A and B are shown apart, each in its own frame.
Chain A
């Protein structure tokens, strides 16, 4: 028995090493096969690159820390965090909004750019969709533990229960449950549907029985029939058309959590567009953070090219300025309202005890993307990577500034306070990156990282030559 397995393993490794996987630009003859080989190679090589192991080790460590923190919070209660009146929403909700925001670029690239016929999206859309799903998974944890009794989150769902009660559907917090739940579901559907043809490719290239069975199961017997492609493309278009208003609605609803409250600094109508722009900004930055190392270490340089990085840098530059405009407009609205509390809140934001957080945010989100005005900087992957990291830091601080500073000093000076995080706060935030990167690294190794069928379909060789009918 053991001998058979050993023999089988030897055969598999011989087969995979014998593949002589192609790594190079998809030009000349056999362009389609070159794309297949470039992408499938990651799944087919017996061992991923050393960088993958190092990254996976770090991610798993962070994930364990995350698990320990969540366990401690469930056992001890949210007193383990630094949350105190008046700052009763602190890292928990900041992290939730941060991760949900990250999760927006995926659907934006997949759906909105698809409807706008931006073909360059095919190189990065699978990435971005995976990032979306993992980010929403991270986000969903925080409202669950933030309620204090994490074994009762089913109270948020409209389930018949022994109390005979229903959720309050007129509350923005309940809208959140539906918006984020729908978004997570639709993102998974979109992602999965997009992967079906690529799963079929992996199935047909797999040499081991287990891989064939696993990829065959999820490919559901896809054989590339044109009659099926017809319905598939129509379904993809429909999902894109559905996801586009959905992606705009989700962060708008998240912003309603704040905008419908009467707290100065939250109570403002600019929030929905401002939050959506911020989400696109942060999401694209995260795509860069993931795509730059992945193309480097998995040999996808010929598919995710410098041009793609440049285009994403331009989106970051544009949305960064929208966000900067919103920061300025908030001050104008505070002054124009004539409300002394509004005016105070914004003075306090920029010059009060949280000024360090405010100016960090301004530097990261408004100043740092300006480097992308230079083409040389836009087309340098590692500059893009660094700016992506900085922007993500800035977007985390943006949510903290909105939530923390507004709560810390509201109407009555007698009820003012200052939020000090505990080690559990920091470790939970850091640990959530562990969950995100663990899922992402597994995705890189085992799932089609690039939408092969889509990339092939937009190549010049895919177009039918016209004119010479036989």
Chain B
């Protein structure tokens, strides 16, 4: 039946699929298509190596619905892009950055644009394939050896036998009137198996299993508990070669990781030459009885001293300085046998003690009291003493110490 050397097919018993006409050039094909269109066939198509300009009207192909599908996909992409950003940054995880509002549309435009394009592009390819019925693995035309040239340089027209108007004689006559290079029958495909080869099925099964595996492992990790520490893929960065306090360092000859000052240098602010200010001593080594010139007995310094006394001294010595602070009261309430009551600051020996010695006690501590030099600045230690002197005066004052105008209130 067929004129060329077709692939093995039991064409004798296979029903007719259609009539296939072959043409040499695009012009001949377009002319033929116009005739078949005018004869009002429905199930027919032309096959060409490249899109032919003018074929759509020649075949009467209506514009595809594809652009509308893509339009709605793009709109969906835009709504998803905007909505997702709104939901994450305003509702699910509001995150203040530099006091900016949670929702500032300009900053969300780029990602909304990208999702619009992404959705549209994926839909363009997907919808094009779906509308074209691709993938389309097997077709009766594949059995025509000549038809392989359709992707090279030959032009074909097929009218299917299932068309209502198809008639073995009339249709052949119609096609012959278009002067095809070759015209012959196409039989239905009885050769190609409908089933996928076992190899491909097996490969698909293996691939599917492998694809599920990571998700299954991740899910198991999410729902189960483990006493083991986390797995570190690259433990290298957990062990960083930096020196901790008191550790040896191979870099230095003396192997000390912690480095002292460079000999003959003083760090900024550590040059404390003034004995009076920094150590409370006079030139001969005796305790100073006056405040250093930097600390003037002013209202401001007094207030500062009161504040610092309240922070550092009052917990033990009490706000009034009688040695009855919160810590003492708590220790007394617990009946702590070893607890020694903090010193009452209103004792004569303390009233007469030089301010230099008091300064030294605050700085380095005395008896049970620890030193506060590392916590309280030099100026504030003097301010505390200034305030302490005022406190001492307040419990041992004569009526004459009260200003003349206020004395009436004492009576």
Contact = CB atoms under 8 A, between A and B. Distances in A.
Interface in B49-106: 49-56, 59, 61, 63-64, 66-67, 70, 84-85, 88-89, 92-93, 95, 97, 100, 104
Contacts of B248: none
A249 B50 contact: no
A469 B31 contact: yes
Contacts of A456: 49-50, 153
Given A74-B234, A170-B108, A242-B117, A224 B27 contact: no
Interface in B39-55: 45-55
Given A228-B132, A231-B64, A463 B53 contact: yes
B4 to A, nearest CB: 15
Given A30-B153, A169-B88, A230-B61, A75 B114 contact: no
A85 interface: no
A225 B46 contact: yes
B250 interface: no
B295 interface: no
Contact of B152 (A175, A205, A233): A205
A165 B97 CA distance: 15
B151 A242 contact: no
Given A220-B134, A233-B51, A226 B45 contact: yes
Contacts of B66: 231, 234-235, 238
Contacts of B54: 464
A469 B108 CA distance: 58
B401 to A, nearest CB: 57
Nearest to A222: B134
Contacts of B93: 164-166
B95 A151 contact: no
Contacts of A30: 153
A197 B151 contact: yes
Interface stretch (A62-70, A185-193, A406-414): A185-193
B139 A223 contact: yes
Contacts of A453: 49-51
B256 to A, nearest CB: 25
A175 B109 CA distance: 9
A243 B92 CA distance: 32
Interface stretch (B11-19, B120-128, B304-312): B120-128
B79 to A, nearest CB: 15
A243 B70 CA distance: 14
Contacts of B25: 461
Nearest to A30: B153
Contact of A464 (B30, B49, B125, B151): B30
Contacts of A227: 45, 59, 61, 132
B52 A464 contact: yes
B47 A224 contact: yes
Interface in A221-277: 221-235, 238-239, 242-243, 245-246, 249, 253, 256
B410 interface: no
A462 B50 contact: yes
Contacts of B136: 220-221, 223
The main secondary structure of chain A at its interface with chain B is helix
Given A222-B134, A229-B55, A234 B64 contact: yes
Interface in A332-376: none
Nearest to B130: A231
B191 interface: no
A238 B56 CA distance: 18
B135 interface: yes
A223 B141 contact: yes
B118 interface: yes
Interface string B231-247: 00110110000000000
Contacts of B107: 169-170
A154 to B, nearest CB: 11
B50 A239 contact: no
A200 interface: yes
A83 interface: no
A230 B129 CA distance: 12
Nearest to B54: A464
B31 A470 contact: yes
The bracket for how many chain B residues form the interface is 35 or more
Contacts of A231: 64, 66, 128, 131-132
Given A200-B151, A456-B49, A185 B122 contact: yes
B88 A238 contact: no
A246 B77 CA distance: 14
A11 interface: no
B332 interface: no
Given A165-B93, A189-B121, A226-B59, A175 B31 contact: no
Contacts of B213: none
A170 B46 CA distance: 52
B104 A170 contact: yes
Nearest to A176: B110
B51 A186 contact: no
A420 to B, nearest CB: 21
A110 interface: no
Contacts of A297: none
Interface in A1-40: 30, 32-33, 36
B270 to A, nearest CB: 22
A459 B131 CA distance: 29
Given A229-B51, A233-B51, A239-B124, A220 B135 contact: yes
Nearest to B120: A242
Nearest to A199: B151
A300 interface: no
B53 A238 contact: no
Interface in A192-220: 192-193, 197, 200-201, 203-205, 216, 220
A201 B110 CA distance: 40
Contacts of B148: 204-205
A168 interface: yes
B1 to A, nearest CB: 22
B110 A253 contact: yes
A175 B31 CA distance: 53
A101 B100 CA distance: 33
Contacts of A158: 84, 88
B125 A189 contact: yes
Given A189-B121, A220-B135, A242-B124, A151 B233 contact: yes
Interface in A127-186: 149, 151, 158, 162, 164-166, 168-170, 172, 174-175, 178-179, 181-182, 185-186
B64 A77 contact: no
Nearest to B56: A230
Interface of A: 30, 32-33, 36, 74-77, 149, 151, 158, 162, 164-166, 168-170, 172, 174-175, 178-179, 181-182, 185-186, 189-190, 192-193, 197, 200-201, 203-205, 216, 220-235, 238-239, 242-243, 245-246, 249, 253, 256, 452-454, 456-457, 461-465, 469-470
22 contacts: A158-B84, A166-B89, A168-B95, A175-B111, A179-B110, A182-B118, A189-B121, A192-B125, A204-B150, A204-B152, A221-B136, A223-B147, A224-B48, A226-B45, A228-B132, A235-B125, A238-B67, A238-B124, A242-B124, A256-B110, A456-B153, A464-B30
Closest 4 CB pairs of A and B: A221-B136, A32-B153, A235-B128, A220-B135
Given A169-B85, A179-B110, 13 more contacts: A77-B237, A151-B234, A170-B104, A170-B108, A182-B118, A224-B150, A226-B46, A228-B132, A238-B67, A242-B117, A242-B121, A454-B50, A462-B52
